[in-house]
Chain A
Amino acid sequence: MADIAFLLIIFFMVTINFEVDKTQVFLPKTTIRLEIPKKAAYISITESGQIRVSGGEEISVPVHPEDVLSFAADVVARDPQKEFVLKADQSVPYRYVDGVIDSLKQAKARVIYLLSEQETIDTSAGGG
């Protein structure tokens, strides 16, 4: 019994995912969903437009929208190939997302992953 228990413990220890960003958001739903590389930098935007950033290693910290550019530039300077993950609430007004994408473009980020949940038949039927 103890052996089985220890095997399970090892399984959980290996698979545990330390989330760098614990912001609660309702993610948009998409059909295309690709695996996001580990250690990607995170930028989260809540419904009210609050932005938190994380370089991928540390817990995310809230930042002012104008500081996203300097954060992104710093991340890209350390690793030009770094992927960014945009974790934005599905009902956030687009201007907040626009500002973040613009900062990432100016910082010469290579690729952005728009974090999403799996779209199911039911949601796609009513969506638009």
Chain B
Amino acid sequence: MKFKRGSVNDEIPTASMADIAFLLIIYFMVTTTFAATRGIDFSLPQDDDSPLVDKEESVLIEIQPGGVLLVDNKPLPLDNILEYLKPKLERNPMKPVIIRANEMTEYGYMVSVFDELRQAPDKIGMEVKNVSIPTQREINMFWY
């Protein structure tokens, strides 16, 4: 039986390295999901004892199913809310604004109202500082 001698290659074969690397690249490219990692922030009240803001003093934005907005019981398009709030905020920058969505309202409408209020610095030059979104339990407990 004959054995080959002296022809043992002492280098690590790297010719296939690029192929392996590209396979890994393709794997990472396919599995990378560009997840939505942005959103609109909403700070919750930290003071436990703070009662719900006074209904009489505040601007109440009610959102009906289908996205119809009632601002202080009057229908108002989304684009006009900030115009409506502006004179009130000029008198009282801490004017409370309450967003109250009907339980059957689609969540997207509530987010668009909240987004509109957050855009106030760009649109009317002043911030809506005091936005509260009471939950049904809080309404039942404190409001009526």
Residues of A within 8 A of B (CB): 1-2, 5-6, 8-9, 12-13, 15-17, 19, 27-36, 45, 85-86, 88-99, 101-102, 104-105, 108-119, 127-128
Given A2-B14, A30-B40, A113-B40, residue A16 in contact with residue B28 (CB < 8 A):
yes
Main secondary structure of the interface of A (DSSP, over half): mixed
B101 near A98 with CB under 8 A, answer: yes
Instruction: Check B21 for interface membership: any CB of A closer than 8 A.
Output: yes
In the complex, which of the residues A105, A116, A118 contacts B111, with contact meaning CB atoms closer than 8 Å? A116
Known: A17-B34, A94-B103, A115-B36. 4 other contacts (CB 8 A): A91-B106, A105-B138, A127-B78, A128-B109
Contact A94 B133 (CB under 8 A): no
Partner of A36, one of B39, B119, B138: B39
Establish whether residues B46 and A93, one from each chain, have CB atoms under 8 Å apart when the complex forms. no
A92 surroundings in chain B (CB, below 8 A): 106-107
Can you list 5 A-B contacts (CB < 8 A)?
Answer: A16-B32, A30-B112, A105-B138, A110-B46, A116-B40
**Band of interface residues on B:** 35 or more
Q: Is the CB of B133 within 8 A of A34?
A: no
CA distance A105 to B134 in the complex (A): 10
CB of A52 to closest CB in B, whole Å: 15
Given the known inter-chain contacts A8-B25, A90-B111, please indicate yes or no for A105 contacting B39, CB distance below 8 A: no
B114-141 vs A, CB cutoff 8 Å, 1 = contact: the mask equals 1100110000000000000101111000
Given known A-B contacts A30-B112, A30-B115, A32-B119, A94 and B105 have beta carbons under 8 A apart: yes
Smallest CB–CB gap between A89 and chain B, Å? 7
Question: In the complex the two chains form, is B39's CB within 8 Å of A17's CB?
Answer: no
Give the distance in Å from the alpha carbon of A36 to the alpha carbon of B41 in the complex: 9
